Amino acid sequence: MNDTPLDPHAELRRAVYWLLIIVSAGVMIGRIWTVTSQLGETPLLSANDRSRWCTIRSLVDHGTYAIDDVIFKDGDRRRRDREWYPIDMVRHRGPDGLEHYYSSKPPLLLTMLAWEYYAVKVLTGATLAEKPFYVVRLMLIISNVLPLLAYFWLMSRMIERYGQTTWGRLFIFTATAFGTFLTTFAVTLNNHIPAAFSVAVGMYAMLAVWRERRLHWGYFALAGVFSAFAVANELPALSFFAMIGGALMLRSPLRTLVAFLPGAALVAAAFFHTNYAAHGCYKPPYAHRSDGAVVATVADADSLMAEIQASVVPESVRQSLESAGVSISPRGLTLPRWSGEGWMLWDFDGQDRLAIREADGVLEFRQWDNWYEYERSYWYGKKTGVDLGEPSRGLYAFHITLGHHGVFSLTPVWLMSLLGLIYWSIRRDARMRGFALMVITLSLVCLAFYIARPLKDRNYAGVCCGFRWMFWFIPMWLLAAQPVADWISSRRIWRWIGLVLLLAAVASAGYASLNPWAHPWLYQYWVYLGWTPPY
């Protein structure tokens, strides 16, 4: 590290780091202790975090991943509990043979948090049903603030190690504590904080091996566990995991195979095990968005369509299905599919579904594998606002980079990160070149991935204060800005420019500090000026 006895400012910097950490923690805790939903009966701010809390509550209070008893006030599933009912959910057949509702979020993190809720319930007697404000706020402090404090400390270590000037180091750490959207999300249960924290740990371990050639087994194990956990929370972080694994393999194949891969395998096993426990299969819910395999086919579709549209199962269809091993009760019923792409065959007695599609005069009967299709499903209803998607890919690319949801326009400190990555990638000292090239590649690949998404997914990450799908890059981008912060530290005019960029970043993060599930201030202002249509 650079904080040797020859550095007269090292002790002062450490004191400032801890002062900023304490102030940031106090601000986050204060915001958490005032968080309240729109209806005022719970501290659940959006459908996104409600979906997660439903699973946590159901696991501990009802012993199941199914959330029916949480989101409905009656056994007939007619009276929804508006404070708990989410849109981020799926429906499929459960272990009892009946269909149930489940959160669409990967269950690993939720299972871990359920153990936390269990401990709170046992120690205090408080439950999410009876004392939601007390339990939720306490768990947010434990689950969000404490990991962020560890993240701040870890970032301070890397800033000290790779920074060169006192002013530059303090600038980057101030941005860490106040200038990104991670602290904005402290008031709500989310996957972005654990993902970014995991990336920071993985990056720390990887740099220790790659740049400083510290081939300790523990660094390889840390990199494996936390880069894999980043993937469990942000699927695109799979590219980060692959990059780190490749870098460590180049340094030490043996340690990568013996420490890195087993650590990653442990997380992967937990991910798939909890997914199987929740849904009875290893594929996560978001992979169940289309029809399954063909069960049977019936020719002469035209002559059968009238009966099917009249909700009658033709005898020829029943015989074809039975010959394929699918038994349909006499009360089988066909209904229009909510996606408008076919029909559904529902078996009352067997509590089972088949998807029906017509193609070239043939009826295809497929396994039902679109878990997002159910009565009153938001995802196959009439979408409104931002969920309609941006028709123009070019406009979408502009707005997620420089526009109203822009990575650079909302957090202009990332402009310094861009320059820092270029500097590290071309400098003579190649120790950080590999890191810079990795971050540049990952950033471009992920941006291209989101720009290339179909219309329904080009929705600016939903109603949110920023483009949250790339929040897991924040630790890497902060470190990448360090050489530029060091460079401007001795240049007065550039220091002021840097401070203006930091001011804008802090303002963006603070704008939605009480509820991050709101459009960015820049978008709101552009709507006010008439520059962009309201979503």
How far apart CA 157 and CA 151 sit, in angstroms, is 10
Q: Which residues contact 516 (CB under 8 A, 6 or more apart)?
A: 45, 181, 184, 185, 187, 188, 464, 465
* Per-residue pLDDT reduced to its tens digit, 402-442: 999 999 999 999 999 999 999 999 886 667 899 999 999 99
Please provide residue 332's backbone torsions phi and psi, each rounded to the nearest 5 degrees.
-55, 145
* Per-residue pLDDT reduced to its tens digit, 222-247: 999 999 999 999 999 999 999 999 99
Residue 5 pLDDT > 60: no
Residue 535: pLDDT band (50, 70, 90) is: confident
Residues in the chain: 535
Pairing, β 352-359 against β 343-347? antiparallel
How far apart CA 344 and CA 118 sit, in angstroms, is 40
* Per-residue pLDDT reduced to its tens digit, 376-398: 788 776 777 777 888 999 999 99
Question: Residue 349 domain-assigned?
Answer: yes
Residue 1 pLDDT > 50: no
Question: Residue 338 domain-assigned?
Answer: yes
Find the mean pLDDT for residues 35-42: 90
Predicted TM-score (pTM) of this structure: 0.92
Question: Residue 184 domain-assigned?
Answer: no
- Count of structural domains within the chain: 1
How far apart CA 131 and CA 361 sit, in angstroms, is 58
Question: Residue 348 domain-assigned?
Answer: yes
CB 82 within 8 A of CB 46: no
* Per-residue pLDDT reduced to its tens digit, 93-109: 899 888 899 999 999 99
- Domain range holding 332? 294-370
* Per-residue pLDDT reduced to its tens digit, 314-357: 777 777 777 777 777 766 666 666 555 677 777 766 677 888 88
* Per-residue pLDDT reduced to its tens digit, 184-237: 999 999 999 999 999 999 999 999 998 888 999 999 999 999 999 999 999 999
- pLDDT, the chain, mean: 90
Residue 35: pLDDT band (50, 70, 90) is: very high
Question: Residue 434 domain-assigned?
Answer: no
Q: For residues 45 and 331, which has the higher predicted lDDT (pLDDT)?
A: 45
* Per-residue pLDDT reduced to its tens digit, 439-488: 999 999 999 999 999 988 899 998 999 999 999 999 999 999 999 999 99
Q: Which of 166-180, 347-361, 457-471, 503-517 has the lowest mean pLDDT?
A: 347-361
% of residues, the chain, pLDDT over 70: 92
Query: Residue 29 is encoded by which pair of tokens?
Result: 């805790």
Find the mean pLDDT for residues 142-166: 96
Residue 297: pLDDT band (50, 70, 90) is: confident
Question: Residue 329 domain-assigned?
Answer: yes
Residue 500 pLDDT > 90: yes
Q: In the block, which residue shows the tokens 């990568």?
A: 256
